[in-house]
Amino acid sequence: MFDKFKKEEGGEMTEERIADENANMKSRGMSSNETAGEIGIVELMDKRAKLEEAIDYVGLMIKNLKDKRTVLEKDIEEESIDIKNLKEKLEKVSQYIEEENRGIKELAHKRQQVENEADEVGSIINNLRDRLSGIDRIIDNEGNRIKKIKESREPLES
């Protein structure tokens, strides 16, 4: 009996073929329930229905996984964009720090120049003070000589 089903259309059972087979069995005096039960067609159909349900369930699981993957891809892309933005901000901060460091070095160099100029001015002032002190001594000495000369003349004039 199985050989007959296997030969026809690859052995696949359709409801039409089952009905035809049941009719053949009735004509031979067998009931369709007895025959179907004996060869296990009902169980086979139940298994097929359960397999179809399982395939539908697996399909739903695959769809859910695809949806989850899509959400994850979107989240990862958003995180990637956020990280790129943070990286750009950090690069700007780094550039700012470098500019500030250059500015500080320039200020330190300018301060050093001003300090050197102040030292030069201090040296010039000290030099001029020493020269003025020298001139002041000379003037004092000359003033003392003139005083002595005047003093020595006064007794003569008296």
Q: How far apart are CA 12 and CA 35, in angstroms?
A: 17
Place of tokens 């259309």: 9
* Dihedral (CA of 82, 85, 87, 90) sign: negative
Q: What average pLDDT score do residues 97-103 get?
A: 97
Top-confidence residue, 75 or 13:
75
Instruction: Give the pLDDT confidence score for residue 9 in this predicted structure.
Output: 41
pLDDT, tens digit, 9 for 90 and up, residues 118-149:
999 999 999 999 999 999 999 999 999 999 98
pLDDT band at 1 (very low <50, low <70, confident <90, very high): very low
Q: What are the residue boundaries of the structural domains of the chain, listed by start?
A: 40-157
**Looking at residue 152, what is its pLDDT?**
85
Kindly give, in sequence order, each residue whose CB lies less than 8 Å from that of residue 41, ignoring residues fewer than 6 positions away. Answer: 13, 18
Instruction: Please report, rounded to a whole number, the percentage of residues in the chain having pLDDT higher than 70.
Output: 73
Mean pLDDT of the chain: 83
pLDDT for the residue numbered 86: 97
- What average pLDDT does the segment 107-124 reach? 97
- For residues 48 and 42, what is the distance between their CA atoms, to the nearest angstrom? 10
Q: Tens digits of per-residue pLDDT, 5-40?
A: 444 444 444 556 555 655 655 555 545 555 555 677
pLDDT recorded at residue 106? 97
pLDDT recorded at residue 140: 93
In this predicted structure, what is the pLDDT of residue 158? 58
Angle between helices 32-39 and 41-157 (to 10 degrees): 50
Instruction: Provide the pLDDT for residue 40.
Output: 79
